[in-house]
Structure 1
Amino acid sequence: MSPRSRMKPVAGTAAALLLAAGSGLLAGCGSDSRDNAAGGTHVVAAQAARHVRPQPPVQTTEADWKPVADTLGRTGTLMGNTVYRVPLPRKDLTVTTQGVTVKPGLSLGGYAAFAKYRHETMLMGDLVVTETELPKVTDALQAAGIEQTALHKHLLQQSPAIWWTHIHAMGDPVKLAQGVKAALAATSIPPASPPPATQPPIALDTAGIDKALGRKGTADGGIYKFSIARNETITDGTHVLPPAFGITTGINFQPLGDNKAAINGDFVMTAPEVQKVIQALRKGNIDIVELHNHSLNDQPRLFYMHFWATADGVTLAKALRPALDATNLVPPTT
């Protein structure tokens, strides 16, 4: 083969690359040479992914998740016939913050959620761990191939020191459950227990709270709760992510007596909404605890903000309403 003939493929490749660059296949509008230097293949893949229709989760039944429940030794709840959510509350801990003993349902409710897609199962969750447990939990998760996508706190000041770590993985559901079980074994999270036959009373003006927030709450273990989905489809680029994966604004009221409450939870927001929510919460004398992400590749990019305050329950609900209205949530019902 002559030197000239050997050069033809190279020249052809260069021409193809130039054509691709000129057509925007290698880099989008506004990109510079640093984008291409970082890896043209990744740019092409990222742009191609934008044109892929994300897969919705597959409809399932409770029976489909029995192997997961058996592996974990814990029963979950099938939500929307797609997400199997297993509660992992820290009922073993006595956590105090600013003079309040926190009930598990207010701030300490971890979970592992599973959903089937066309080829694999997705795991997402939030584990509540003590500071001494965290290194062992991290090692167990990494050994199982389960990603940690966030590490943060829900409370400003707390005793003992508690951390919340979000997890994500794709694969066989039983293997995913085995990985979660290994992480749980590195903690003192107690075995699953049946829910109480009756809910304890909520010593709050729940009707007034409902009216102020424009939504109906639910009683759960002595806590009055709201879980509000965003009014848009959330994906990771290739999979639709249902709200039951934890992609909601959560607001929890713990009664403190005399219609007073402690509130904790988090707002789910896009970037343009963050400052509006901060301003609305502070106007209502509600403390900002933490601002962070839960996922690595959600679309649109979402931020989560935890908050805390104690006061009259209805007064707190009225202070929360402008912050809710500043985000693109499912519209109020009342």
Structure 2
Amino acid sequence: MRKTLLAAASIVSAVLITGVDAQKVDWRIFTEPFVSTAQAQDIDWQKVDDILGRKPAVGGDVRRYGFPRSDLAVTLDGVSIRPALALGGWVAFKPMQGGAMVMGDLVLLDSEINPVMAKMIANGLEITAVHNHLLRAKPETFYMHIGGHGDPVKLATAIHDALAESKTPLTVAAATAPPPAIDLDTAQLDQIIGVKGQANGGVYQFNVPRRDPITEDGMPLSPVGPMGVAIGINFQPTGGGKAAITGDFVLTSDEVNPVISALRSHGIDVSALHSHMLDEQPRLFFMHFWANDDAIQLAKGLRAALDKTASTKS
């Protein structure tokens, strides 16, 4: 920030002293860092919170609102899926010039897809993907990725009205009991995966960032975790040191098949491969996976797959 201010002062001084045509100066080199901050200060986030009926998790300048499908009782291979494992819909707002960018991943039943989609489109939001993440789950769930930019209050209203076409809970129920303990060796999992995990609703979650920056329509998608472009890995304990795992690898095209081979060679199913966005750079592919076995052995398989990617390791 200090360097940016000094650069700005130097350019202004040069313009004043030399008479350089201000129209020819690329003012973006010192104005862009202030856009996000300035826009964030102008936004009435309380209105957004009120419309969406919940408080966000805040990471950097991104506000991420969770819409877990706590109303659904989904099972897969005898495992009751917790919302934090694979049913955690969300939308994230990032300030930008002209308002905010919004991205999201909504969890829907098949009967809800087209009513929600119609409402999204009518209110100016984009649909960037619709697909499965899991196989053999009962009932089947699908995932609608959305995007848009503009007035964040209007975006929030559009999202709320669209979700009202589904049975997604639009009010946050008061917690009736503490979440179950994570009955796993989380310290060893942290060591194997290479980043620190976090407990959330009875699930142990990892976000592993990629080393390369990611943009959408030229806008940096950062922080990567809140914006949904970090590699996500979730462990739900199933007893006796076992865990059900799922999540998604964020991959460039050359990483796709090496990661498939690494997962399959460690007994981890690949359940989906697809895009989530339309205009991101670099072009990314998202690979979802599933297994229910010894947690430490599965972590080692996931680490072998992570080693095929340009991801970070603490």
Judge same fold: TM > 0.5, yes or no: yes
Give the whole-Å Cα distance in 2 for the aligned partners of 1:194 and 1:231.
Answer: 38
Contact 2:236 2:243 in 1 (8 A): yes
Q: 1:119 aligns with which of 88, 98, 106?
A: 98
Contact 2:274 2:286 in 1 (8 A): yes
2:239 is matched with: 257
Contact 2:110 2:142 in 1 (8 A): yes
| Displacement after TM superposition at 1:61 (Å) | 6.7
Determine whether 1:225 maps to 2:205.
yes
Per the alignment, do residues 61 and 97 of structure 1 end up closer, same or farther by CA in structure 2, a change over 3 Å counting?
Answer: farther
Q: 1:295 aligns with which of 258, 273, 277?
A: 277
**Which residues of 2 match residues 72-91 of structure 1 at below 5 A?**
72-80=52-60, 82-91=61-70
Between Structure 1 and Structure 2, how many residues are aligned? Answer: 280
**Which residues of 2 match residues 203-218 of structure 1 at below 5 A?**
203-218=183-198
Q: Which runs of 5+ in 2 are unaligned?
A: 1-27
Could you list the structure 1 runs, at least 4 aligned residues long, displaced by more than 2 angstroms after superposition. Answer: 52-57, 59-64, 193-200
Contact 2:208 2:232 in 1 (8 A): yes
Q: 1:137 aligns with which of 116, 140, 151?
A: 116
Of structures 1 and 2, the larger Rg is shown by: 1
* Partner amino acid, structure 2, of 1:99: G
Per the alignment, do residues 316 and 134 of structure 1 end up closer, same or farther by CA in structure 2, a change over 3 Å counting?
Answer: same
Give the whole-Å Cα distance in 2 for the aligned partners of 1:101 and 1:198.
Answer: 18
Report the 3-state secondary structure (helix = DSSP H, G, I; strand = E; otherwise coil) of the residue aligned with 1:182: helix
2:76 is matched with: 97
Contact 2:98 2:151 in 1 (8 A): no
Q: Which runs of 5+ in 1 are unaligned?
A: 1-51
Question: After alignment, is 70-79 or 125-134 more displaced?
Answer: 70-79
**Which residues of 2 match residues 298-317 of structure 1 at below 5 A?**
298-317=280-299
Give the whole-Å Cα distance in 2 for the aligned partners of 1:119 and 1:196.
Answer: 41
For the aligned residues, what is the CA RMSD?
2.0
Contact 1:65 1:84 in 2 (8 A): no
The Cα offsets for residues 59-89 of structure 1, whole Å up to 9 and x where unpaired, read as 3479842111111122112211x11100000
| Displacement after TM superposition at 1:301 (Å) | 0.4
| Displacement after TM superposition at 1:112 (Å) | 0.8
Sequence identity, in percent? 45
Per the alignment, do residues 195 and 78 of structure 1 end up closer, same or farther by CA in structure 2, a change over 3 Å counting?
Answer: farther
Report the 3-state secondary structure (helix = DSSP H, G, I; strand = E; otherwise coil) of the residue aligned with 1:245: coil
* Partner amino acid, structure 2, of 1:204: L
TM-score for the superposition, normalised by structure 2: 0.85
| Displacement after TM superposition at 1:194 (Å) | 4.8
